């Protein structure tokens, strides 16, 4: 990135091609999404052994399931015989094994090849070697994270470390007990925009006064344009009249018991590169996962998590959900409005970041360094 000719208040963004060129997206798939920890399912979605879900991670289809010993397993969703896609459904349940719909090679929940037509006549076939290809998998905050790299980066540094560098320590997130919260609402958004536009938008609040009337009512400091993510450890304070993090500032739900006094009546936003956003408020957690589909399309799955007794008792969470649902729509509309400009000649060399957005420059440097780096693992 060249800063040549720019006044000191401004720094350059990435050039437009980084948001519009399928060649750049292919490099990001290989060097970012297939190389880093990638968050897929809520662990509770794999209710019992044999429950499964499939996801696109980078260029690969990934199959996750719960094994007999209750642990979560992740595999490449490709048959070891002649390469058919093993599971074509997005989710489902098998009793004991996954059977390929082509020639019926059959794999146990641990990925091992357990049966195939005439397998007994081929005693030289090692059932583990010709089993499904295992991926690294971790559970944290009640979510399943996978890594396609052979030698994954440190989860502690790359994932937990991102949260720590934002909040100051790991206890600050542990107090929300996210593992044990229940999904009160999930909304899936199909956003016609590059994944980086969504991250950049999430990282800044320069747009808040313009597009987020409800949010700036609840968090008045957002109207100044300085994002919660601008200062380490800072959470944006609720307005004085505001009772809860709801669309009209009315009372929220039961407060999560572990939340500390200095975290109460505050909103914290965390970006975990490359595809997770975590939003913490005293009575719930909003957890976004992005699934980049192509250079100009990203599926965003957003969960609203509450104390389980709040959900079980059937309490009305709609005013609480509605606030961030509107924020999501307002943000994603802005991203979609920006996407076509990425291929305009105006943006060939990129745009500019004002001082309250300068921290996005570090994200751009990070993306560029990943793209330039030789693949590892």
**Which residues in this chain contact ligand FES in the complex, by CB under 6 A?**
79, 81-84, 100, 102-105
Rounded to a whole number of angstroms, the minimum distance from the CB of residue 328 to Fe ion is 9
Q: Which of 320, 353, 331, 312 lies closest to 253 in space, CA to CA?
A: 320
Angle at 124 between CA 123 and CA 130, to 5 degrees: 105
Task: Tell me which of Fe ion, ligand FES, none is bound by residue 300, counting a contact when its beta carbon lies within the kind-specific cut-off of 5 to 8 angstroms.
Answer: none
Query: Using an 8 Å Cβ cutoff, are 252 and 237 in contact?
Result: no
Helix pair angle (195-203, 360-372), 10° resolution: 150
The alpha-helical segments, DSSP class H, found in 74-221 are: 155, 161-167, 171-174, 195-203, 208-211, 213-218
Return the residues of window 126-165 that contact Fe ion according to CB under 5 A. Answer: none
User: Which residue is closest to Fe ion by CB?
Assistant: 331
Task: Select from 34, 221, 296, 331 the one that contacts Fe ion (CB under 5 A).
Answer: 331
Indicate the SS3 state at residue 121.
helix
Rounded to a whole number of angstroms, the minimum distance from the CB of residue 80 to ligand FES is 8
Task: Tell me which of Fe ion, ligand FES, none is bound by residue 84, counting a contact when its beta carbon lies within the kind-specific cut-off of 5 to 8 angstroms.
Answer: ligand FES
Residue 338 host element (H or E): helix 318-338
Rounded to a whole number of angstroms, the minimum distance from the CB of residue 98 to ligand FES is 10
Q: Which stretch binds Fe ion (CB under 5 A): 68-76, 89-97, 148-156, 327-335?
A: 327-335
Task: Tell me which of Fe ion, ligand FES, none is bound by residue 188, counting a contact when its beta carbon lies within the kind-specific cut-off of 5 to 8 angstroms.
Answer: none
Q: Which stretch binds Fe ion (CB under 5 A): 53-61, 157-165, 184-192, 330-338?
A: 330-338
Indicate the SS3 state at residue 373.
coil
**101/213 with CB nearer ligand FES:** 101
Q: Which stretch binds Fe ion (CB under 5 A): 102-110, 113-121, 276-284, 325-333?
A: 325-333
**6/104 with CB nearer ligand FES:** 104
Give yes or no for residue 296 binding Fe ion (CB under 5 A).
no
> What are the φ/ψ torsions at residue 218 (nearest 5 degrees)?
-75, -40
Count other Cβ atoms within 10 Å, centred on residue 45. Answer: 17
337: Cβ contacts below 8 Å, ≥ 6 apart: none
Rounded to a whole number of angstroms, the minimum distance from the CB of residue 185 to Fe ion is 19
Task: Tell me which of Fe ion, ligand FES, none is bound by residue 82, counting a contact when its beta carbon lies within the kind-specific cut-off of 5 to 8 angstroms.
Answer: ligand FES
**303/331 with CB nearer Fe ion:** 331
Task: Tell me which of Fe ion, ligand FES, none is bound by residue 223, counting a contact when its beta carbon lies within the kind-specific cut-off of 5 to 8 angstroms.
Answer: none
Task: Tell me which of Fe ion, ligand FES, none is bound by residue 62, counting a contact when its beta carbon lies within the kind-specific cut-off of 5 to 8 angstroms.
Answer: none
Rounded to a whole number of angstroms, the minimum distance from the CB of residue 331 to Fe ion is 4
Indicate the SS3 state at residue 81.
coil
Number of residues that bind Fe ion (CB under 5 A): 1
Task: Tell me which of Fe ion, ligand FES, none is bound by residue 331, counting a contact when its beta carbon lies within the kind-specific cut-off of 5 to 8 angstroms.
Answer: Fe ion
Place of tokens 């997206």: 25
Return the HEC string of 232-257: CCCCEECCCCCCCCCCCCCCCCCCCC
Rounded to a whole number of angstroms, the minimum distance from the CB of residue 104 to ligand FES is 6
Rounded to a whole number of angstroms, the minimum distance from the CB of residue 221 to ligand FES is 56
As a whole number of angstroms, the distance between CA 102 and CA 342 comes to 42
As a whole number of angstroms, the distance between CA 227 and CA 208 comes to 9
Alpha-carbon torsion, ordered 238, 240, 243, 245, to 10 deg: -20
Q: What is the DSSP letter of 133?
A: P
Rounded to a whole number of angstroms, the minimum distance from the CB of residue 102 to ligand FES is 4
Residues near Fe ion (CB under 5 A) are 331
């Amino acid at each position: 990135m060249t800063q040549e000719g720019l006044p000191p208040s401004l720094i350059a963004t990435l050039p437009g091609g980084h948001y519009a060129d399928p060649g750049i997206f292919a490099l990001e798939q290989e060097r970012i999404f297939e190389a880093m920890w990638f968050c897929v399912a809520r662990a509770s979605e794999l209710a019992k052994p044999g429950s499964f879900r499939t996801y696109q991670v980078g260029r690969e289809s990934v199959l996750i399931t719960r094994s007999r010993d209750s642990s979560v397993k992740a595999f490449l969703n490709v048959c070891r015989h002649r390469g058919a896609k093993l599971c074509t459904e997005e989710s489902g349940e098998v009793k004991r094994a996954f059977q390929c719909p082509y020639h019926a090679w059959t794999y146990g929940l641990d990925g091992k090849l357990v049966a195939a037509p005439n397998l007994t006549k081929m005693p030289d076939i090692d059932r583990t070697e010709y089993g499904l290809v295992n991926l690294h998998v971790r559970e944290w905050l009640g979510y399943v994270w996978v890594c396609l790299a052979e030698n994954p980066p440190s989860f502690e540094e790359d994932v937990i470390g991102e949260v720590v560098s934002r909040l100051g320590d790991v206890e600050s997130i542990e107090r929300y007990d996210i593992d044990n919260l229940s999904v009160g609402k999930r909304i899936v958004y199909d956003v016609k925009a590059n994944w980086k536009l969504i991250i950049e938008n999430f990282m800044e609040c320069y747009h808040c006064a313009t597009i987020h009337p409800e949010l700036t009512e609840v968090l008045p400091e957002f109207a100044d344009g300085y994002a919660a993510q601008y200062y380490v450890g800072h959470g944006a304070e609720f307005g004085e009249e505001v009772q809860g993090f709801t669309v009209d500032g009315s009372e929220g739900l039961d407060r999560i018991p572990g939340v500390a006094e200095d975290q109460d009546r505050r909103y914290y936003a965390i970006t975990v590169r490359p595809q997770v956003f975590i939003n913490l408020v005293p009575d719930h957690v909003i957890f976004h996962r992005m699934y980049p589909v192509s250079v100009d399309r990203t599926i965003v799955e957003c969960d609203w998590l509450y104390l389980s007794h709040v959900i079980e008792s059937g309490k009305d969470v709609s005013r609480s959900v509605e606030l961030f649902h509107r924020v999501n729509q307002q943000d994603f509309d802005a991203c979609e409005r920006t996407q076509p400009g990425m291929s305009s000649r105006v943006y060939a060399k990129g745009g500019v970041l004002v001082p309250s957005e300068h921290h996005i420059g570090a994200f751009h440097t990070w993306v560029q360094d990943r793209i330039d780096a030789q693949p590892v693992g």
